[in-house]
């Protein structure tokens, strides 16, 4: 099942069910007004949405309309909580080697809490105050959960993962080190994230969803040139383990979004990277200096993960950086 959000008078948008090929959709706001409301009542709402999805696939729906991922909003334009992990060890190892940092050996997932009151849609222009802040994109996968009780185990957490999304976690790299030194976490360095148009159920990914990981490449282009296609299967901790970690001391409210962190692979020399900061770390390792600049106003970034057969899944994120 595929779900998306279209514009409406509500800040949460209007829920639609999307066809398998992302070309058509049908209104689902008669079942739930928006995706957040649907996730909050998933046990009752999901069977109705699935029936509508099946009818759309079989051609039984007469009121389907054309669906344009570029005109959609983020599936969750806002939510109660956004928790971002850093679950790809290769990304951390490259950063540590480049900057001569000690390894983080905590024996537990790395995670921080970011802003969740808004998520950019897949084609929204993204404003920043200054290029000097070190504007960077970060290609990630994410999951949306229903209510997760405190103390839920990793094994049981798998059943709470209801939807999978594709995320661009914008970062300001010149600001991050200043905030990290305070020990209080990110605020200015982590503005609003972006989401691809379509949220998919785990079954929609088929064999590409395994061990709580998305076994698909995330294709990233910067200014329409290849930047990377790292695969999402090299997470040290699967999403079910990230969910369990987040729920260790709190109940996770339905609609909580949890990110994987920058998708990164051991064979980065072949597959490339999912963020500029990692590419700059590779520059430093190879050349002794960072040769790759951060983004400038007018730059574009495109991200898309497709199925193993090349079919559309989440739809592309294609955004332009602009001056506020």
% residues pLDDT > 70 (the chain): 99
pLDDT at position 128? 97
- The pTM of this model reads 0.96
pLDDT at position 105? 67
The class that CATH gives domain 82-323 is alpha beta
Whole-angstrom distance, CA of residue 172 vs CA of residue 304: 22
Whole-angstrom distance, CA of residue 113 vs CA of residue 198: 23
For residues 8-20, average pLDDT: 97
pLDDT in tens, 82-105: 999 999 998 888 888 877 777 766
3-state helix, strand, coil in the chain (%, to 5): 25, 25, 45
Mean pLDDT rounded to a whole number for the chain: 95
- Range of lowest pLDDT (36-45, 97-106, 294-303, 307-316): 97-106
- Range of lowest pLDDT (21-30, 57-66, 170-179, 286-295): 170-179
pLDDT at position 156? 98
For residues 168-194, average pLDDT: 88
pLDDT at position 270? 96
pLDDT at position 275? 96
- Cβ burial of 102 (10 Å; 0-12, 13-18, 19+) is exposed
Residue-range domain boundaries for the chain: 2-67, 82-323
Ramachandran area for residue 37 (φ above 0: left; ψ -120 to 50: alpha; else beta): alpha
Whole-angstrom distance, CA of residue 48 vs CA of residue 307: 25
pLDDT in tens, 48-86: 999 999 999 999 998 999 999 999 999 999 999 999 999
């Amino acid at each position: 099942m595929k779900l998306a959000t279209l514009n409406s008078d509500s800040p949460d948008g209007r829920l639609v069910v999307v066809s398998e090929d992302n070309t058509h959709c049908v209104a689902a706001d008669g079942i739930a007004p928006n995706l957040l409301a649907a996730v909050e009542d998933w046990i009752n709402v999901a069977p109705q949405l699935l029936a509508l999805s099946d009818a759309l696939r079989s051609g039984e729906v007469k009121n389907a309309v054309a669906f344009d991922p570029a005109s959609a909003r983020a599936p969750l334009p806002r939510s109660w909580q956004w928790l971002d992990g850093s679950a790809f060890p290769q990304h951390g190892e490259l950063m540590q080697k480049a900057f001569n940092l000690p390894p983080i050996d905590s024996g537990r997932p790395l995670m921080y809490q970011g802003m969740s009151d808004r998520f950019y849609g897949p084609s929204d222009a993204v404003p920043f105050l200054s290029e000097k802040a070190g504007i960077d994109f970060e290609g990630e996968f994410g999951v949306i959960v229903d209510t997760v009780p405190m103390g839920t185990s990793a094994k049981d957490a798998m059943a709470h993962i209801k939807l999978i999304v594709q995320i661009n976690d914008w970062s300001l790299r010149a600001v991050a080190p200043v905030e990290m030194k305070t020990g209080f976490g990110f605020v200015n360095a982590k503005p609003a994230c972006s989401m691809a148009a379509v949220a998919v159920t785990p079954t929609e990914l088929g064999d590409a969803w395994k061990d709580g990981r998305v076994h698909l490449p995330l294709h990233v282009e910067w200014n329409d040139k290849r930047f990377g296609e790292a695969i999402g299967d090299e997470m040290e901790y699967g999403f079910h383990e990230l969910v369990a970690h987040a729920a260790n001391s709190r109940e996770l409210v339905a609609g909580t979004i949890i990110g994987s962190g920058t998708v990164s692979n051991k064979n980065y020399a072949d597959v490339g990277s999912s963020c500029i900061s990692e590419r700059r770390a590779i520059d430093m390792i190879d050349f002794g200096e960072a040769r790759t600049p951060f983004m400038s106003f007018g730059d574009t970034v495109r991200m898309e993960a497709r199925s193993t057969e090349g079919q559309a899944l989440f739809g592309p994120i294609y955004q332009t950086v602009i001056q506020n």
